[in-house]
Amino acid sequence: MTDAKNQDKDQHSTAGAYVHAGEEFNRDTTYIEDRIVAEPENAELGEGAQAWPVAAGRYHLVAARACPWANRTLIVRRLLGLEDAISIGLPGPTHDARSWQFDLDPEGKDPVLGTERLQENYFERFPDYPRGITVPAIVDIPTGEVVTNDFPQMTEDFAKEWTEFHRAGAPDLWPAELEDEMRDVMKRVYTEVNNGVYRCGFAGSQEAYDKAYERLWVALDWLEERLGEKRYLMGEHITEADVRLFTTLVRFDPVYYSHFKCSRQKLTELPNLWGYARDLFQTPGFGDTVDFQQIKEHYFIVHEDINPSQIVPVGPDLSNWLSEHGRENMGGSPFADGATAPGPVRSGEEVDPAHTPLR
């Protein structure tokens, strides 16, 4: 178990991210590996993990809009139409040393869980939980106990285990014929891009930063080339691979370019990636989950070691996210035959109109 001082640092930062002088950034990827599955008796589990049964109305997804890992779950939940099956809690963009808090809700409490901080739900199950209190997390409503914070498995299980509760016309985000290649692509996207921007931002030395910067841009150049030949990462239609890349791209110019020093080029200067990002943003289920103001407030306020002034930038201008992307000329479509876009965002889950160009 970490000492109290280091535990506070973990909980006060983004998924345990913190600058350590002279060191490369290494993310703690130890998560609560329990799964929620359709057939618990047949579930493939890691050592010590438990299987929980799929059940509509039993679980509460806690997912801060500011966090890229949580943003994935918001997108997948919406694309698949799981809003009626899995309720949602939306913490504010900043948090104190204890954890993410429900400061946007009336009286500062999540209306379903009745808690002020997500930490309470972690401690309900693990009183001595030694790691950072991360989002996304799924909480068992009857007990108030956290079930899992394993975000990559979470969205995969939404797609594969919750099919009974998918909306009519839900897309197949994990096409069986593409899965092996998808996993290779997603692994590279995660290590080199999703986590690569953090490796730059939290580098503890010039040498560590230079290495991280080089790795990031090798990967972004690879993606720029790949997306010159394919409308989406895996071809003609959206898959989970696109969800996982999108949440980093949509944060690139507002945050990572400056705050994390990923500044060789802006996203808007990379023709294929910029067109691709706008194509996704303008697809229902993607841009309508993105709150640019919360994103900026989170990074620039919480990361005091990187931005001691905690001043939040006013820009950039967001109107260009709605400009024509031209990606339809490459063929394909967001969703394969038989699949459709999700309907309007449900009441109470809309992004503040002042925080998005989608007005």
Q: Where are the beta strands (DSSP E) in the chain?
A: 35-37, 51-53, 59-62, 87-89, 137-140, 145-148
- What is the spatial distance between Cα 62 and Cα 95, in angstroms, rounded to a whole number? 14
pLDDT reported for residue 6: 33
Q: What tokens does 73 get?
A: 């779950």
CA–CA gap between residue 156 and residue 180 (Å, rounded): 14
Which pLDDT value is given to residue 20? 65
User: Omega of the bond prior to 136 within 30 degrees of 0, cis?
Assistant: yes
Compute the distance between CA of residue 280 and CA of residue 273 in angstroms, rounded to an integer: 11
Reading phi first (left if > 0) and then psi (alpha if -120 to 50, else beta), residue 331 is in left
Residue range 35-58, pLDDT digits in tens: 999 999 999 998 999 999 999 999
Taking the domain 176-338+350-355, which CATH number applies?
Answer: 1.20.1050.10
Can you tell me which residue has the tokens 């479509």? 333
Tokens of 311: 């001043």
pTM (predicted TM-score)? 0.94
What local confidence, expressed as pLDDT, does residue 26 receive?
A: 75
**Among residues 18, 59, 67, 122, which one is catalytic?**
67
Based on the residue annotation, tell me whether 67 is a catalytic residue of this protein.
Answer: yes
pLDDT mean across residues, the chain: 93
User: Residue 262 catalytic?
Assistant: no
Alpha helices in 106-205 (DSSP H): 118-125, 151-160, 179-188, 196-201
Q: Is the pLDDT of residue 2 over 60?
A: no
Domain-by-domain residue ranges, the chain?
31-165, 176-338+350-355
Token pair recorded at residue 11 = 């909980």
Q: Collapse the DSSP code of 210 into the 3-class scheme (helix H, G, I; strand E, B; otherwise coil) and give the result.
A: helix
The mean per-residue pLDDT over the stretch 99-124 comes to 96
Handedness of CA 65, 69, 72, 74 (dihedral sign): negative
What pLDDT does residue 25 have?
Answer: 73
pLDDT band at 22 (very low <50, low <70, confident <90, very high): low
pLDDT at 27: 76
31-165: CATH number: 3.40.30.10
Residue 97's pLDDT band (boundaries 50, 70, 90)?
Answer: confident
State whether the Cα torsion 178-184-187-191 is positive or negative.
negative
pLDDT on residue 24: 74
Mean pLDDT, rounded, for 307-335:
97
Q: Cα–Cα distance between 167 and 159 in angstroms, integer?
A: 11
**Do you find a cis peptide bond into 342, omega within 30 degrees of 0?**
no
What torsion, rounded to 10 degrees, do the Cα atoms 352, 354, 358, 359 define?
100
For residue 106, pLDDT over 60 is answered with yes
Selected catalytic residue, list 198, 209, 276, 299: 198
Q: 204, 235, 339: which is closest to 285 by C-alpha?
A: 339
Using CA atoms, how far residue 47 sits from 60, 155, 249, in Å, is 25, 20, 34
Range name among 128-132, 159-163, 275-279, 326-330 with the lowest pLDDT average: 128-132
